[in-house]
Structures are given as structure tokens and as C-alpha cells.
Structure 1
Amino acid sequence: MHTLTRRDAWLRLTLLPAILLLIAALVAGCFDPLSRAGSRDPDPNHIVVGSGGVLESQIIGQIYIDALEANGFTVENQLNSGTRERYLPALRSGDIDLVPDYIGNLMQYLASTAPGLTEDRIAEYSALTSLEDIEQALPSVEGDDLLTYTPAPGSNSDSVTVTQKSADKWNLRSIEDLARVSQTEKVSFMANSEFATREVGVPGLERNYGLKVDFRPNNDSGGQATINELTSGRVTAADIYTTTPAITTEDLVVLDDPKHNFPANNIVPVLAKSKDSPKLRAVLDAVSSKLTVEELRNLNELVSGKEKLEVEDAAKRWVEAQNLNKALGS
């Protein structure tokens, strides 16, 4: 029969707790915060805030957190909750209570997943582009468990963007103006390759405005490479998302889209209907009212520009500047 020596006993006493701690750490590292289906706290003043993975969505989620805490809510941070295919089911199941979203993309997702809709009705809802039409139709696809509050004026949408030099040269204010130019001048246009065939891409611009373009694909989603091509004059126009900081810093001009070729993508709070309260609505409406496209560009610049602030620091600075760091009415 084997007898433990003092050294064996010491090793067991020393190593076993360390091994257990390591196992606990590994388990914690694998823990999914969005795996607590049905755990929603019925207290309307306790809010779990999630967000999409993109930085802009995380910044807005952090702004929600800061403003809610300033108004006496107990808030749990579950930002960076994944894609819409992940965080909306989590919102329905009780893992999170509130997320910022983009109203046009939200409409298309909910229409495609709503039970009982015919293909024609899904196509009808998915084709809506104006903010007014999307707002009006959204309750029809939200179901009994979701609710949206007032959208912000700021929209992160596709665009036809030109340089200030081009805008001055041809007196460009809207896509209609550029379409006029395209009848006699070559208008080169850069965007992701799928823009060539998307309904709201090249086909939509020609159908709605008569805009004829020499299409130049570049799959950086309106990033720096596309911006460089635009500012250098190698392309006439480009699809730059409207909350991109370079629109301001590079002196670019987003042309008006009066025929709503591009779907509105205004920031909108989406929440579990069971968490709805006049107090929650008041706080989020106050936040949304200040989220203009210019403010969204500024927020994105704070995080991705020269200062490279953390999401928490950028949100805190903005909330303080907007006087949202204290209770409403105080």
C-alpha cells in the first residue's frame, strides 16, 4: 500500500488549489453572457444593455449606459453582443433588454424572420426606404415582445459622396445634380463590388435618378482606400457611409437623396417590451435627439481618429458635453 510522503502531501495541497483556479478561469473564459435565456429581471429599473460588434454601435450602447445610470437605473453592460442574428434573439429570450440598432437594416431583418409573412409582404417591407415608411411599418414585424423608441436624426446609410471641389465645379447638392452631369461627363463611381447589382446600388441610382456611372469596385466598404481614390480625383464619387469621420475631416460632400434610393438607417433603441416605461423612454429619447449625423461622425473620430479614445472614454466625454450625465430636469 502506497503511503503519501510529506513531499507528496505538500504537492497536493499546493497544486490542487492552483489547478482548480485554472479550471475556473478557463470555464469563465468560455462563459457566454448571452446564454441565460429566460433570466430577465422583471424590475423595470434594471436594464441589460447590449450592442452590435461595430465600434459605433458599442459607443452608442455605452452612451445609453451612462445616461441611464445618471437617471437612477441599475445597468448591466453586455456590449459587443455579436451580429443582429445573435443579439436580437438574445433580446427576445431575456439575455439583454436594450440595444441600439439601425432602423433600415432592422426592418429588413425583422421582415425576413417574422412568422407568417408571405414572400410578397416580406419583399414589400424590405423595399421600404424612407424613414417615415419604415417607422410606420416596423410595429407590424416587431412581434409582441419587442418595441422601438423614437429614432435619432443621425443615419448611418450608404451615400453618393463627392469632394467639395467637384460640388463647387458642378454646383452639386443632390444626386439629381450629379445625374445631370452624367449625361455629358464621365462619372466614375467607387463602391463594394456588390453595389453594381444591389437594388439600391447602381441599378437604383439609374432607375431613380438617371445617374449613369463608370463603376469601379473596391471592397473596403468606403474605407481609406476608397476615400484616397476620391480625394485624389481618380474617381468622381463614392459610396461612403454617412457617419464616416472623413466626410468632415477630408471636406467631402454627401449629396442629398430626395427620392430615398438608400434606405434610412437612423439609430433607434430596440428593447424588450416588458421593460418599457415612461422614464426609460424619456432618457433614451433625450439621448437620441442629440445623435445627429455630425455628432456620430465626431464620436467615431474620437475612437478611430488621432485621439484613439476607448469606447468608454468617448461616450463619457460626449454624455458630459450634452449634459446627459445628470438626471433629466435637474
Structure 2
Amino acid sequence: MRMRARVLTPFAIAAVLATAACGESGSSGNGSGGSDGGQASGSACAPIADDNLVVMEDDKELQAVDNIIPALETTYSEANPTAIDALNTVSEVLTTEDLVGLNAAVDVERQSVTDAAAAYVEENDLGSGVTGSGSVTVGAASFTESQILANVYAGALNNAGFTATVQTVGQREAYLPALQAGQFQVFPEYVGTVAEYLDGNPDEAVVSGDLDSSVEVLRGLGTPAGLTFGEPAEAEDSNAFAITVALQEELGGITTMSELAEACSDGSLILGATPECPTRPFCQIGLEDVYGFQFASLGDYDLGAATNQALIQGEISMAQVLSTDPILAN
């Protein structure tokens, strides 16, 4: 799954950084520590401070897909086949940019989850053309994005004739067994994350950067678990990497990770990422092995406001980000 390059505006940056300061934090977020890379032979990719950021396209599909996909308890889905049809109307239109905007509407603009979701359902006429009936409960985890998606799913189901309600059901370790047991019937899931959870082997990945093959694996894992999956959306919440627009322009307007790696072949690029990055195949290891990046150094930061601020202030050349972070809203 490839991502479009997206510009991060100064307003969105300021708003989200202020919001994040009031939220939960991880370790320190100070960027202290880090690991040294190789000796740089130039300064082509030295940090350039800028309020505007842009996400680089993962053109070699280093990141495993994590597209949004409706999960249903199989007994319910077999008895109510049009429920999947209604949920698939969401998947047909939901993009990563849409999800960024929905997250920003709630976390930055301070709209309620129900209002933001209802507006999206109405704007896209979700669930129209589908006929169903009966009550159905859509589960949601306790974070903003899951709450939004659950309400969007419920809106589509209601438009199709179902009577849908949303119930907050906690984290995956608690809600997945409850979904399998039919305590609620629908949940907005993530292809890669739920597939790896169902597989249960942390030492071997079962999904990749290929969406079709990953969904096939997921459905195979879902069948014995009593879960049925609809169609995946284009929208995905995945690991991504951003640079400042000033650096992008300095490098000739590049848009992909491959182009960035080539432009930074002098080893001058400074990466800001989580402390786990050096040992993760989707982070430093993969960036070096798949794209051929050479780093001058690696700075340790909490994912989110800390890495974003370090990039804006010119402390690092490239930051690890999440593809649906509300800071990406234009």
C-alpha cells in the first residue's frame, strides 16, 4: 500500500503540539540519548528547520499494511449478510487523508466523536442502497480513531436499516474474545495488527506491504477464530517517515523514500525515532537494508509531538510518524 505525500501546515502543527502536551506521554520525549551512525561525507541532508512537513511515500512497501477493515462475529454475519455490505460502503470511500481529517476534527478542532462521524456518514451517504434490520452493537477501543470509526460504522448500519449502537470495549486482549463470543457483533480493525495477533507468533510476520495477500492471510486466520472480515479501506494507520518541506525543496522536490535515500547517500541524514527503532525491521534495520539509508545519527524520541517538534526545530532530518496523526491534516 503506497501513501501519497502530504504537507503538514503550520496551523495543524501548532494545534496538535499543544493538544499532545496535555495528553499521555511515553518515556521522556526529550530526545536525549540516541545512537551514532556512520561518518557523514557531506551535508546534503543536514536538518533544515521548517514549520511545514511532508510524508515520504513508502515506494518499496517496507511497512506492513494496517488498513482499516470491518471485523464481524461470524454467526452474526452469516445471519445478516447485508451488514457486511453496509460496512463495505465505508471501506469503498475511506482514505488515509479522510481519517487524518476525522482525527483532527476531534483532537484539534474539538468536535465530538459522534458529530464528526455523523458528518462523514452524511457527506458520503454511507450505507445507502443496502437493506437490513435488527439491532447490532459496534465495539470501539478507548482511543479517538477507534471511537470515530465505530461511530462511522454505526452510522452506515443505521442508514441501511439496522439499529446500531456503539460500545467502548477496551483493548484487543479483552475485546477480541468478546467479539468472538458474540457479546458485540462488529469492530473496526487493522489488517496487519489483528492478523499478527490472531497468528500469535511474534517471531515471524504473517503480513507484508502487499494488501491483497495480507487480507487473504487475515481471512484464513479469522475463519477458525469465528471472525469474518469485510473489504479493506484505502485508509491505513501505519508507520511512516516525514521531512521538512524546506529539506524537500533543497533536494529538488523528492517525494519517495527511495529518492530520499539516494539524495542522502553522503550519510548526513539524522533520524528521529522511538528508542526501539534500531532493532525494528520496519525502522532503522529496514531503512538501511531495503532503502540503503546511511544515517549520521539516530535521536531517541517519543512518537508524536516530540519527534514532530524535533523535526520542525531542525534537530533531525527525518522523523518517524504515524500516517493518521492529526498533525498531518491540511
Q: TM-score by structure 2 length?
A: 0.56
Given residue 203 of structure 1, which amino acid in structure 2 is its aligned partner? I
The question of whether the paired residues in 1 share the 8 Å contact of 2:140 and 2:166 is answered with no
CA distance in 2 between partners of 1:42 and 1:143 (Å): 12
Equivalent residue for 1:137?
217
Match of 2:328 in 1: 247
| 8 Å contact kept, 2:272–2:301 | yes
1:40–1:96 CA contact under 8 A, matched in 2: no
Residue 202 of structure 1 pairs with residue 202 of structure 2: no
Matches within 5 A, 1:262-273: none
> 1:155 and 1:124 mapped to 2: Cα distance?
18
What residue in structure 1 maps to residue 263 of structure 2?
181
Larger Rg, first or second structure (1 or 2): 1
Report the Cα offset of residue 151 of structure 1: 0.8
Q: Which residue of 1 aligns with 2:146?
A: 57
1:100 aligns with 2:198: no
Higher strand share: 2
Offset of residue 227 of structure 1: 0.9
Tell me which moved more, 171-180 or 146-155: 171-180
Aligned length: 200
* Residue number in structure 1 paired with 2:238: 157
Give the Cα separation in 1 of the matches to 2:308 and 2:156.
34
* Per-residue deviation, residues 91-139 of structure 1 (Å, max 9, x unmatched): 10111100001111111111117xxxxx9xx72515x232122112112
Q: Which has the higher helix share?
A: 1
Distance 1:131 1:41, change over 3 A: closer
**What is the CA-CA distance between 1:199 and the residue it aligns to?**
1.4
Please list every run of 5 or more consecutive structure 1 residues that lacks an aligned counterpart in the other structure: 1-38, 114-118, 250-330
Letter in 1 for 2:292: G
Amino acid corresponding to residue 315 of structure 2 in structure 1? R
Query: Shift of residue 237 of structure 1?
Result: 0.6
2:67 aligns with none
Corresponding position of 1:91:
179
Q: TM-score w.r.t. structure 1 length?
A: 0.56
Distance 1:123 1:41, change over 3 A: closer
Secondary structure of the structure 2 residue equivalent to 1:209? coil
Question: What is the aligned partner in structure 2 of residue 75 from structure 1?
Answer: 164
From 274, 291, 299, the counterpart of 1:192: 274
Cα deviation, residue 215, structure 1: 1.0
Between the aligned partners of 2:181 and 2:329, the Cα distance in structure 1 is 40
Alignment deviations for residues 16-75 of structure 1 (CA, whole Å, 9 cap, x no partner): xxxxxxxxxxxxxxxxxxxxxxx9899733211002221101101011112211221012
C-alpha separation in 1, matches of 2:142 and 2:210:
26
Query: 1:165 Cα deviation (Å)?
Result: 1.4
Q: Which runs of 4+ in 1 moved over 2 A?
A: 39-46
- Structure 1 residues 180 and 42 mapped into 2: Cα distance closer, same or farther (>3 Å)? closer
Matched with 1:217 is 300
User: Percent of pairs identical after alignment?
Assistant: 26
Q: What secondary structure is seen at the aligned counterpart in 2 of 1:139?
A: helix
Distance 2:78 2:236 in 1: 32
Which position in structure 2 is the counterpart of 1:281?
none
